[in-house]
């Protein structure tokens, strides 16, 4: 490895490994010429040796266990639990893609537990400069907080559903929805969970969902337990990550109960 790049890495190793995304981008901007000139050497060290040969083999499982997120951080549709020791169901997405930023291949705040779909559908941008320009406009799972609500429209004539997003708290969340393809991803559930819940509400003279929640179990069971037992989801936002589709179903059920 070229002495200049070796010195740069040694002097900035803390930032490279533990810097938040904004710090990583700032580091890249400051040193882009040197990084690009030595991109092949950097890729061989950080991507091939550090990430693929060391981190994935020796650290990935422990890393995911310490984060303690049961489902994909991006979509909350799929479990990311270990099936057998030494293997995980989760994939690790590089928020700043390692194809454009190989030096951040093992940067903690650049590693996002995700499902296979999200890891491959998430936008990679055109190049490193695209991310330098746009990273502040996209919500990052570690550093940006925000909310939105799932909703839907239904066309009786076509017998079709369309997923919509409402009450988006800020532009970063809206951009995240776009770049992570959440509309496309959740559209795959229109004919399953959404239609089932919709028909539970409309195929009975009264609001059957309300009856399920009010009359199925004794009053000694909490509302959170009812949601878990009836719908297989967690009701409290801080526990959404524990079971797939918790956010989506909670939002849809809330709408249906109000009809």
Predicted confidence (pLDDT) per residue in 123-140, tens digit? 677 899 999 999 999 999
pLDDT at 154 over 60: yes
CA distance 216 to 100: 54
pLDDT at 57 over 80: yes
CA distance 94 to 105: 7
3-state helix, strand, coil in the chain (%, to 5): 55, 10, 35
CA distance 102 to 105: 5
pLDDT in tens, 231-252: 889 999 999 999 999 999 999 9
Residue 259 tokens read as 């009809």
Please tell me the predicted confidence (pLDDT) of residue 218: 67
Q: For residue 4, what are the CA distances in angstroms to 12, 34, 41, 52?
A: 12, 8, 12, 24
Residue 166, φ and ψ in degrees, nearest 5: -130, 165
Q: What percent of the chain has pLDDT over 70?
A: 93
DSSP three-state, residue 147: coil
Q: Which stretches within the chain are classed as H helix?
A: 3-11, 13-18, 21-37, 39-42, 56-58, 60-67, 116-121, 128-134, 171-179, 182-187, 195-202, 208-215, 223-231, 246-258
pLDDT at 19 over 70: yes
CA distance 118 to 180: 7
pLDDT in tens, 160-188: 899 999 999 999 999 999 988 899 889 88
Q: Identify the band that residue 32 occupies on the pLDDT scale cut at 50, 70 and 90.
A: very high
Q: The pTM is what?
A: 0.84
Residue 191 tokens read as 């004919």
Q: Identify the band that residue 98 occupies on the pLDDT scale cut at 50, 70 and 90.
A: very high
Residue 176 tokens read as 């995240």
Averaged confidence pLDDT in the chain: 88
Q: Identify the band that residue 87 occupies on the pLDDT scale cut at 50, 70 and 90.
A: low
CA distance 173 to 190: 22
Instruction: Kindly state the average pLDDT of the residues 43-70.
Output: 90
Half-sphere exposure of 97 (CA within 13 A, CB side): 15
Within 10 A of 152 (CB to CB), how many other CB atoms are there?
Answer: 19
Q: For residue 203, what are the CA distances in angstroms to 110, 114, 189, 206, 232?
A: 47, 36, 20, 9, 21
The one-character DSSP state at 79 is: B
CA distance 250 to 150: 9
């Amino acid at each position: 490895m070229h002495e200049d790049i070796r010195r740069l890495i040694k002097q900035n190793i803390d930032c490279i490994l533990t810097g938040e995304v904004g710090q990583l981008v700032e580091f890249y901007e400051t040193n882009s010429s040197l990084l690009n000139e030595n991109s092949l050497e950097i890729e061989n060290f950080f991507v091939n040796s550090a990430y693929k040969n060391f981190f994935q083999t020796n650290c990935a499982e422990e890393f995911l266990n310490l984060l303690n997120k049961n489902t994909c951080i991006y979509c909350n549709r799929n479990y990311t639990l270990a099936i057998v020791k030494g293997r995980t169901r989760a994939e690790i997405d590089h928020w700043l893609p390692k194809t454009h930023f190989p030096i951040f291949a093992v940067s903690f705040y650049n590693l996002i537990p995700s499902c296979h779909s999200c890891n491959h559908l998430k936008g990679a941008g055109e190049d490193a400069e695209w991310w330098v320009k746009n990273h502040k406009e996209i919500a990052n799972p570690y550093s940006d907080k925000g909310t939105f609500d799932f909703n839907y429209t239904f066309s009786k004539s076509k017998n079709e559903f369309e997923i919509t997003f409402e009450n988006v708290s800020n532009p970063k969340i809206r951009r995240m929805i776009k770049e992570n393809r959440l509309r496309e991803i959740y559209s795959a559930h229109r004919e399953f969970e959404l239609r089932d819940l919709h028909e539970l509400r409309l195929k009975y003279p009264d609001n059957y969902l309300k009856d399920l929640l009010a009359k199925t179990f004794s009053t000694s069971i909490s509302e959170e337990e009812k949601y878990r037992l009836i719908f297989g989801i967690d009701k409290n936002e801080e526990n959404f990550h524990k079971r797939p589709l918790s956010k989506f179903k909670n939002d849809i059920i809330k709408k249906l109960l109000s009809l």
